[in-house]
Amino acid sequence: MPTDHVDVLIVGAGLSGIGAAVHLTRDCPDRSYAVLEARGAIGGTWDLFRYPGVRSDSDMYTLGYSFKPWTDPKAIADGDAIRGYVRQTAREYGVDRHIRFHHRAVRAEWDSATARWTVYAHRDDTAEDVVLTCSFLFTNSGYYRYDAGYTPEFPGVERYAGRLVHPQHWPEDLDHTGKRVVVIGSGATAVTLVPAMAERAAHVTMLQRSPTYVIALPSRDGLAEALRRRLPAKAAYAVVRWKNVLLGVANFQLSRRAPTLVKRFLRRAASGRLPAGYDVDRHFSPRYDPWDQRLCVVPDGDLFDALSAGRAAVVTDTIDTFSEHGIRLASGAELPADIVVTATGLNLLALGGMSLAVDGREVDLARTVAYKGMMLSGVPNFAMTIGYTNASWTLKADLVATYVCRLLRHLDATGQQIVTPLAPDTDDLEPIIDLKSGYVLRAVDQLPKQGPAAPWRLHQNYPRDVLLMRHGRLADAGVRFARATTTPPAAAGERAQPADTPVG
Ligand SMILES: Cc1cc2nc3c(=O)[nH]c(=O)nc-3n(C[C@H](O)[C@H](O)[C@H](O)COP(=O)(O)OP(=O)(O)OC[C@H]3O[C@@H](n4cnc5c(N)ncnc54)[C@H](O)[C@@H]3O)c2cc1C
């Protein structure tokens, strides 16, 4: 089979993969690169999800790229505006010319002697297998399975005669005008779908087993609009981005330090938007603390408006069984439905389902430890993008791409070819994702771990991570640099020396 070689191989042409390619273009213009994309389109999440009302729940000043101002007046933006922004970025920086569509990366094998990865991909359009080599492998494959969302086993579902839909695969022909809709779920997707569908449906019920924290935020940013009139776009964007970063950090820290206060605030804010006598405790007061799971943002309080107007309702109960015409609940109540939407979540998938091997040994992801939240112990010349869980994904993606470019330049400058993280010298390890959401808990055993302290732990705090990733030392105790064919890279289980020992 013919192979071709690039310096850097990016897997995934979503928000992160396109951003990573732009960072490479700007910071490492001498490096060749290609992007493998399993689908036939740019945009990842923002191309796949097409359900009514699909939108971000982060503000676009932090979900947008550091290098490309978000100029749309909507700060909480619609899916198609985000898709357009990612595509325009790819065109503007010439990244689109480097993308190989319909190429699903399935396996990568590292060889220390040649300091190269051999990457195997499958073309979905032609059914061909393709082999490439690269010096650095950079996965930007998101965090969930594209082929199937998560749907629990519902008793009696085979009897249901209406339309059953998962938001990940929204049927183009589905018309919900005048229909009775039940949306099962209480996460970001459910709170987006309910007000959007309620505009045309006869009625929409959000059926949740337990509540989620929901907060109303303005869909436009007053400061951004004022600054845009006075400052160049880049300057206005930078100011608003930092304002939102700092507000986000402050909110998160307050939630962690004073959860009772924040719970009370969220309850009062929800209550103030709902009709008098509404059972806020039953439907909007979760048992967990704020930020144990992601907070759900509703722009301009659209969910609360739909509930107040009677176009939608929240039911907190469990499903006893589906019937032919709807759902029977444990309380005995019946919910008639022409359409049931299972907004029940995603299936987590690490590295887009790729398997890795290093010098003939399979990499067991669950036994690796993440270094700076982006590389894996014992896996040379490899980085992955996993965004923040408590802030916009792109803030971290930008830092990871910046760091990869710094690493590549460092390798050039020192005449070395290989960089391999080591595992920390401790068994005090935790899951890499610290959320307690169902989709995380279902897959946590298969994911890499993180250590108790830097560099094996990120702070989930953008300003601190900026210092570590943009300005911190590259050659620290957690990583080994080497020349090809001389020093072998670290073995999979090899641990770092105590933190102060100089390395590399
Ligand atoms: C409905 C929804 C709303 C969200 N809203 C927000 C939000 O408001 N704020 C926020 O911070 N985050 C949000 N997220 C998280 C969101 O996924 C990220 O913000 C961001 O889009 C992730 O970008 P990505 O490029 O890393 O991954 P993705 O968007 O998932 O893109 C990954 C790309 O990699 C490709 N790929 C995967 N595996 C392979 C493979 N093996 N070979 C080749 N290609 C592969 C995929 O086809 C896809 O194009 C949301 C997620 C969902 C599902």
**pLDDT tens profile 10-54:** 999 999 999 999 999 999 999 999 999 999 999 999 999 999 999
- Please state the atom number of ligand 1 nearest to the C-alpha of residue 353: 41
Q: What is the pLDDT of residues 279-336, one digit of tens each?
A: 999 999 999 998 888 889 999 999 999 999 999 999 999 999 999 999 999 999 999 9
pLDDT at 500 over 50: no
User: In terms of pLDDT, which residue wins out, 441 or 72?
Assistant: 72
Mean pLDDT of the chain: 93
Contact partners, residue 299, CB within 8 Å, separation at least 6: 55, 76, 216, 217, 218, 219
Degrees, nearest 5: CA angle 90-460-494: 95
Residue 277 dihedral angles phi and psi, to the nearest 5°: 85, -5
Contact partners, residue 378, CB within 8 Å, separation at least 6: 358, 363, 368, 420, 421, 422, 423, 490, 491, 492, 493, 494
Rounded mean pLDDT of 150-162? 95
pLDDT at 496 over 90: no
Question: Quick one: pLDDT band at residue 504, thresholds 50, 70, 90?
Answer: very low
Q: Ligand 1: which residue has its CA nearest to atom 17?
A: 45
- Please state the atom number of ligand 1 nearest to the C-alpha of residue 16: 25
Q: What is the pLDDT of residues 437-467, one digit of tens each?
A: 666 777 777 889 999 888 998 778 999 999 9
Ligand 1 centroid–CA 262 distance in Å is: 29
- Please state the atom number of ligand 1 nearest to the C-alpha of residue 143: 30
The number of CA neighbours under 13 Å toward the Cβ of 5 is 6
Q: Ligand 1: which residue has its CA nearest to atom 12?
A: 393
Q: With pLDDT > 70 as the criterion, what percentage of the chain qualifies? A: 95
User: In terms of pLDDT, which residue wins out, 260 or 437?
Assistant: 260
- Residue to mutate (ligand 1; options 37, 58, 141; most atoms within 8 A of CB): 141
Q: With pLDDT > 90 as the criterion, what percentage of the chain qualifies? A: 86
Q: Ligand 1: which residue has its CA nearest to atom 27?
A: 142
CA dist., res. 253 & res. 435, Å (int)? 15
Contact partners, residue 16, CB within 8 Å, separation at least 6: 44, 140, 142, 385, 387, 393, 394, 397, 400, 401
Question: Quick one: pLDDT band at residue 145, thresholds 50, 70, 90?
Answer: very high
pTM across the whole model = 0.94
Answer yes or no: are the C-beta atoms of 466 and 395 closer than 8 Å: no
Q: Ligand 1: which residue has its CA nearest to atom 3?
A: 56
CA dist., res. 149 & res. 48, Å (int)? 12
- Please state the atom number of ligand 1 nearest to the C-alpha of residue 105: 42
Q: What is the pLDDT of residues 349-371, one digit of tens each?
A: 999 999 999 999 999 999 999 99
Give the strand pairing for 99-100 and 33-36. Answer: parallel
User: In terms of pLDDT, which residue wins out, 1 or 196?
Assistant: 196
Ligand 1 centroid–CA 353 distance in Å is: 14
Q: What is the pLDDT of residues 213-242, one digit of tens each?
A: 999 999 999 999 999 999 999 999 999 999
Ligand 1 centroid–CA 420 distance in Å is: 26
pLDDT value at residue 3: 62
Pocket, ligand 1, Cβ cutoff 6 A: 11-17, 36-39, 44-45, 49, 56-58, 63, 104-105, 140-142, 146, 188-189, 352-354, 385, 387, 392-393
pLDDT at 503 over 50: no
Radius of gyration of the chain (CA): 24
- Please state the atom number of ligand 1 nearest to the C-alpha of residue 346: 53
pLDDT value at residue 427: 87
State whether residue 54 is helix, strand or coil: coil
The number of CA neighbours under 13 Å toward the Cβ of 450 is 20
Token pair 């990573």 is at which residue? 20
